[in-house]
């Protein structure tokens, strides 16, 4: 097998871990609250800026900056839910999507206003690992491992804790759960915090690989939605599978042709798949 192709495949798998983490947060929000946060990738952008400022400008240790960024984006998720989603929870789903679309505009341009359009680098250079003839970026490997750990942590939380059980229950039947003594409002706020926290975690991992700029959300936001829909909106396991399928397509086609064409192909595949299987690849 071509060594460079193998490298592309490895990179694809590692990208898949990150995309899976992103899709996981979005899927959690969708499954539980039944809204699509179209500004999800912009929350990640905000988290990346937080890490950049705390670490590169105020010289906090990286780990501390990351913890602060996760907390900050989690808080942002709560505020987003409280201020924007809650007032229109009862209206048409498309309205919620559009309102978070307004948030997308706001975050992008507010970042432009505050930080300008410069590309900012957090300034951490991680080594490259040589595995035989294959070069692996340590940053990517770290992102992959952290993403998998994050996903596993979320799974354990949802499966093993009382709160996690309540969250899963409310995603199955929101009417009945109120009668069972669960306060949906509280669950929604907690879910928003977790969704935001996952975006913050993704931000910490992405900032090691990419420069931050106000429009970075557009580079992986749309693909994240496609992944969620492919996996079946709200189906977390499906989202993880779809993330790996998409990332492999992107890296392999990107290797043979060009990055743009690889995304074109990924989006076209999405359109075709949603027409064939609107319930997602793992749907009934």
Partner 1 sequence: MTEARIAAGIGIAALIALPAVLPTYFLHILIQALLLGLIYTAWGFMGRFGLVSLGHGAFMGVGAYTSALLWNLYGVTPWLGMPAGMALAVALALVIGYPCFHLRIVGHYFALVTLALGQVVALLIIAGRDITGGSLGMTPRAVGTSVIAFQFQNRAQFYFVALALWLGVLGIRAWISRGMRRAALEAIGEDETAAEAAGINVLREKLWVFVMSAAVTAAGGSVFAQYIMYLNPETVSGVGVSLQIVFAAIAGGMYSALGPTVGALLTLSLTEGLRVLFGTNFIGAANTIYGVLLILFIIFMPRGILGVVESWLRRRPQPQAAPAE
Binding site for partner 1 (CB under 8 A): 36, 84, 87-88, 91-95, 97-99, 101-114, 116-117, 214, 218, 222, 225-226, 229, 258, 260-261, 263-264, 267-268, 270-271, 274-275, 278
Choose among 259, 262, 224: nearest CA to 240.
224
- Please, which residue, 111 or 139, has the CB nearer to partner 1? 111
CB of 175 to partner 1, least distance (A): 20
- Using the CB atoms, write b or e for 140-177: b if 16+ within 10 Å: bbbbbebbeebbeebeeebeeeeebebbebbbeebeeb
- Please, which residue, 105 or 138, has the CB nearer to partner 1? 105
CB of 26 to partner 1, least distance (A): 12
- φ/ψ of 207, rounded to 5, equals -65, -20
- Please, which residue, 111 or 240, has the CB nearer to partner 1? 111
CB of 104 to partner 1, least distance (A): 7
The tokens describing 93, both together, are 């789903």
CB of 260 to partner 1, least distance (A): 4
By the 8 A CB rule, do 239 and 167 touch?
no
CB of 37 to partner 1, least distance (A): 12
Neighbours of 210 (CB within 10 A): 16
- Please, which residue, 88 or 281, has the CB nearer to partner 1? 88
CB of 119 to partner 1, least distance (A): 15
- Please, which residue, 33 or 229, has the CB nearer to partner 1? 229
- Please, which residue, 83 or 131, has the CB nearer to partner 1? 83
């Amino acid at each position: 097998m071509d060594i460079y192709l193998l490298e592309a495949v490895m990179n694809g798998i590692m990208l898949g871990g990150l995309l899976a983490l992103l899709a996981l947060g979005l899927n959690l929000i969708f499954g539980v609250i039944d809204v699509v946060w179209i500004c999800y990738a912009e929350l990640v952008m905000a988290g990346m800026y937080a890490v950049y400022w705390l670490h590169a400008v105020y010289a906090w240790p990286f780990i501390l900056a990351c913890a602060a960024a996760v907390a900050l984006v989690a808080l942002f998720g709560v505020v987003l839910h409280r201020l924007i989603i809650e007032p229109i929870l009862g209206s048409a789903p498309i309205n919620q999507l559009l309102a978070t679309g307004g948030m997308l505009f706001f975050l992008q341009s507010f970042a432009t206003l505050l930080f300008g359009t410069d590309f900012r680098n957090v300034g951490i250079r991680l080594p490259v690992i040589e595995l035989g003839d294959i070069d692996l970026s340590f940053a990517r490997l770290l992102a992959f491992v952290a993403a998998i750990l994050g996903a596993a942590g979320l799974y354990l939380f949802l499966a093993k804790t009382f709160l996690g059980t309540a969250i899963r229950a409310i995603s199955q039947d929101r009417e009945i759960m109120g009668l069972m003594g669960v306060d949906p409002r509280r669950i929604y706020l907690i879910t928003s915090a977790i969704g935001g926290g996952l975006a913050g975690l993704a931000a910490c991992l992405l900032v090691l690989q990419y420069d931050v700029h106000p429009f970075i959300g557009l580079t992986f936001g749309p693909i994240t939605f496609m992944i969620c829909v492919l996996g079946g909106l709200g189906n977390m396991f499906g989202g993880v599978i779809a993330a790996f399928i998409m990332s492999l397509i992107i890296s392999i086609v990107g290797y043979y042709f060009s990055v743009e064409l690889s995304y074109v192909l990924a989006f076209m595949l999405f359109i075709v798949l949603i027409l064939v299987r609107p319930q997602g690849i793992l749907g009934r």
